Amino acid sequence: MTLNVGYIGLGAMGAPMLKRLTGGAPAGSVFGFDASPDVCAKVCAQAGAQPCNGISDIASVTDVLFTCVPNNDVVRAVYLDEGGVAASVRPGTVTVDCSTIGPEISREVHERLKEGGVSHLDASMLGSVSQANEGTISFVIGGEAEAIAKARPALEKVGGLIRHCGPSGAGNQMKLLHQTLVAGHVVAVAEALTLCEELGADVDAFYEIVTQGTGFAYSRYFENRVPRMRSGEFSPLFMLKFMAKDARLARDMAPFAADETKAKLPLLDAVIATLEEGEAGGLGDEDLSAATKVLQARFGRS
């Protein structure tokens, strides 16, 4: 049986994913929508998908509907506002939200859609634009196993690892736990590299020791980003402001008040402070590796 598949949010991740979804699909079975009509028309034309004029249009014709939008408020609006997905989607549809948001939002959407016979998955993504182009995104998913099975053919077109993590919200939780490690590593690399430079130590030797040695400091982030940082290349592969947002979401899902973070999760608290210092300094739209500029500024370097 041919499934009609839709995608709402045709930005840096959504555009290449839509293109992969159309690959091998019957003509007229893949649909796209974006809040910008120009973006929608352009991306759908490039992908060979059917452009839709609104959320209700795409929600009413799809069997599997992906969404990828910036934050909690936009997800809630896309799904629950008047004219949103919940008002138009057909019973039996599976919605797949790939946004990085708080698990409480996914649970709210899940419960509302369930009332209309719709299954909702929070399918947070690990990876960036290059993985979206390659179709190797990792999906960490919360929701019902039966819904994942129905959406799996579409998920497999755009992803590699597809991991069911538990009930609604569990995918979001796993993504944000993952992001606490990423954010901590971003700041740790910035500190170590800046300190290396300030000491006048051999940066080339440091890079080789970390990437080729047998210690535990190696990471793909260090290997890929440090050469870019040293060359002054901070064009965004993943924006610093999004890393800060994810770190705050991780803090906010903790089972205690935000003002207790410093005592209970001191590293996360310090990492958020550094990333927010970068945002305040106008670095939010640069790559997350621009955190090194925050450290350099603390040492009086511009």
For residue 210 the two structure tokens come to 């970390």
DSSP state of 26: P
Dihedral pair phi/psi, residue 144, rounded to 5°:
-80, 140
Q: How far is CA 161 from CA 72, 121, 129, in A?
A: 25, 16, 16
77 closest CA partner among 142, 126, 8: 8
Query: Of all helices (H) and strands (E), which one includes residue 105?
Result: helix 103-114
Contacting residues for 23 by C-beta, under 8 A, at least 6 apart: 157
State the catalytic residue, choosing from 175, 241, 245, 293. Answer: 175
d(CA 90, CA 81): 16
Concerning whether 175 is annotated as a catalytic residue, the answer is yes
Report the catalytic residues: 175
